[in-house]
């Protein structure tokens, strides 16, 4: 599946419960946004895990019903070996790197998350927090050095104010 196909699936509200590896080339911001959207569309609760086998092989698997959860594994390098990754339904791995030993086995499950471009971040800013002039978005972008996490934090603060007051607050 590609990122475009995942976006279309979310927009059409037909998200597969397949195993996914979101391979991030820069930061995890976009991957986290997709995970939130998947959880929202499927009405499933995010469940942070520390290993792929945690859900299936643990004692909790006997007690809890994990079908109503999206299991999320966040790691720097994804290197957990398994015979069949397709058995990990409702599981999403967010990682920076994929170990070469498992790269071919998981290649069908990998969705590449590219580095956000400046114009994409500026468009995101306008979408999330309307009411500013174009040059004000650029000024905020420059003040945060394009750090999407800082931008998101500042936009959350601005969003507390009425749209017509945001320019003065900025």
69-107, pLDDT tens digit by residue? 999 999 999 999 999 999 999 999 999 999 999 999 999
Using the structure block, give the residue that is written with the tokens 């978005």: 137
Q: At what angle are helices 118-128 and 134-143 packed, to 10 degrees?
A: 120
What distance in Å separates the CA atoms of residue 77 and residue 116, rounded to the nearest whole number?
Answer: 20
Cβ 3 vs Cβ 111: under 8 Å: yes
Domains of the chain as residue ranges with CATH: 3-113 (3.40.50.300), 118-169 (no CATH)
Higher pLDDT, 58 or 151: 151
90's torsion region: left (phi>0), alpha (psi -120 to 50) or beta? left
Cβ 141 vs Cβ 122: under 8 Å: yes
What distance in Å separates the CA atoms of residue 47 and residue 101, rounded to the nearest whole number?
Answer: 27
What distance in Å separates the CA atoms of residue 55 and residue 47, rounded to the nearest whole number?
Answer: 10
Q: In what order do the strands lie in the sheet with 91-98?
A: 45-49, 69-78, 91-98, 20-24, 110-113
CB 35: neighbour CB atoms within 10 A? Answer: 19
What distance in Å separates the CA atoms of residue 92 and residue 147, rounded to the nearest whole number?
Answer: 24
pTM of the model as a whole: 0.87
Q: Of 162, 145, 160, 152, give the one whose Cα is nearest residue 127.
A: 152
What distance in Å separates the CA atoms of residue 87 and residue 76, rounded to the nearest whole number?
Answer: 22
Q: What is the pLDDT of residues 104-131, one digit of tens each?
A: 999 999 999 999 999 999 999 999 999 9
What pLDDT score was predicted for residue 57? 60
User: Coil, strand, or helix at residue 98?
Assistant: strand
Q: What is the pLDDT of residues 13-48, one digit of tens each?
A: 998 889 999 999 999 999 999 999 999 999 999 999
Average pLDDT, rounded, for the chain: 91
Confidence of residue 55 (pLDDT cuts 50, 70, 90): confident
What pLDDT score was predicted for residue 16? 87
Using the structure block, give the residue that is written with the tokens 């990990």: 88
């Amino acid at each position: 599946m590609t990122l475009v196909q995942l976006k279309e699936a979310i927009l059409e509200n037909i998200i597969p419960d397949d195993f996914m590896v979101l391979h991030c080339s820069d930061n995890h911001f976009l991957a986290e946004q997709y995970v939130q959207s998947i959880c929202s569309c499927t009405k499933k609760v995010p469940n942070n895990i520390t290993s792929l086998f945690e859900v299936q092989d643990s004692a909790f698997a006997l007690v809890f019903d994990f079908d109503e959860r999206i299991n999320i594994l966040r790691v720097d390098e994804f290197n957990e070996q398994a015979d069949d990754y397709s058995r990990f339904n409702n599981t999403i791995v967010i990682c920076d790197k994929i170990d070469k030993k498992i790269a071919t086995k998981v290649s069908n499950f990998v969705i590449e998350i590219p580095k956000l471009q400046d114009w994409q971040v500026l468009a995101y800013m306008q979408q999330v927090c309307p009411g500013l002039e174009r040059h004000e978005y650029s000024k905020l972008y420059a003040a945060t050095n394009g750090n999407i996490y800082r931008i998101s934090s500042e936009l959350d603060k601005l969003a507390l104010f009425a749209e017509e007051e945001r320019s003065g607050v900025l």
